[in-house]
Amino acid sequence: MEDWALIRRLVADGVPQRQVARELGIGRSTVERALASDRPPKYERPAGPTSFTPFEPAVRQLLVKTPDMPATVIAERVGWTGSITWFRDNVRRLRPEHRPVDPCDRLIWLPGDAAQCDLWFPPRKIPLEDGSRTLLPVMVITAAHSRFMVGRMIPTRHTQDLLLGMWELLQDLGRVPRRLIWDNETGIGRGKRHAEGVGAFTGTLATTLLRLKPYDPESKGVVERRNRYYETSFMPGRTFESPADFDAQFRDWLGLANSRVVRTIKARPVDLVDADRAAMLPLPPVPPAVGWVNRVRLGRDYYVRVDSSDYSVEPNVIGRFVDVHADLARVEVRHEGRLVAAHQRVWARGMTITDPAHVAAAKVLREQFQLPRPAADPDQELARDLAEYDRAFGLIDGEEVA
């Protein structure tokens, strides 16, 4: 190829072909062929039969029925005994001809139209109240048009915590996108049905929650790419003392990230978010009913359970119905509207949270219950009004009633 380039350069500089052939030590016909060719010379071996050729029809037949069949299985089915590497190379060459094609379109996101939601799992364990450390999910929402990002850590993937996280992030965003796009997250829904409470949540917001079909990553690629961005730009070198510490650091960093130019849209999210918000729906006048809600009869141990932890309640309402409500930070219990317990919610698993005042009140009630009861007066028990017998036998004033 070097001679071909040199021949063409020398002739272009005005060197006669005879002199070029003499200086390079090649024939004049070689010089003529180099000048006549518009591309470098390349050795091409003519295609011929190989050891794979007799097996190709059978391999194609299997690929027509099962395009994703592993090459090792195909080799066993057709009776191949040669090099498996050579066989794999040939199967790899044939497979695209039989695999169905699933094209994806370029998506255009209009202002206010959609926000993509997802759970991001930071690759670092977070310390909890009981001293344990665990991986916790982070609810993240990205406005599709402006690429504006909001996020916060949540304790579980249960529907209640997912809806709580979404509501808090939508309040941070200040408006409600016309579509909330999710994948098939279990807490949001599976198959054709949303999880319990999701329909009421979206109805209150007057928005639509769209759950994507399987194998459709492109429709949620905006938020997926940001998940990788968080891991490569936010996480390196950071340590966290608690979920609250994580949220504080993440919120500060998002303020910087939203001020950076996004390569695909050639603009900063903070410059586009106002136009995005203007086309969104307003927040509802009445907040949606979100959180952990339960109505139970308080047992003798005067504790109620939220998620996997137990919280104490005033023991003087034992045996009565109480209403339990919990959000991401607080647990409240009420009896007929009166607050009978209030605790900070714990994110650790299987903890027991006790208010010392509840224990003291239970001790007083227990001591009162154990006091000996006064004996009843036997004379009072035997005394009975004789008129009761007359009424029992149908007599009034000593005469039988007809």
Residue 272 near residue 146, CB atoms below 8 Å? yes
Query: What average pLDDT score do residues 219-237 get?
Result: 93
Per-residue confidence (pLDDT) for residue 279, from 0 to 100: 96
Per-residue confidence (pLDDT) for residue 4, from 0 to 100: 76
Query: What average pLDDT score do residues 180-207 get?
Result: 92
Proportion of the chain above pLDDT 90, given as a percent: 70
Residue 389: pLDDT band (50, 70, 90) is low
Residue 386: pLDDT band (50, 70, 90) is low
Per-residue confidence (pLDDT) for residue 378, from 0 to 100: 59
Per-residue confidence (pLDDT) for residue 313, from 0 to 100: 97
What DSSP string runs through 295-361? EEE--TT-EEEETTEEEE--GGGTTSEEEEEE-SSEEEEEETTEEEEEEEPP-SSS-EE--HHHHHH
Per-residue confidence (pLDDT) for residue 161, from 0 to 100: 96
DSSP assignment letter at 220 = G
Prediction pTM value: 0.73
Mean pLDDT of all residues in the chain?
89
Q: Distance from first CA to last CA of the chain, Å, rounded?
A: 135
Per-residue confidence (pLDDT) for residue 401, from 0 to 100: 47
Residue 381: pLDDT band (50, 70, 90) is low
Q: What region does 104 belong to: left with phi over 0, alpha with psi -120 to 50, or beta?
A: beta
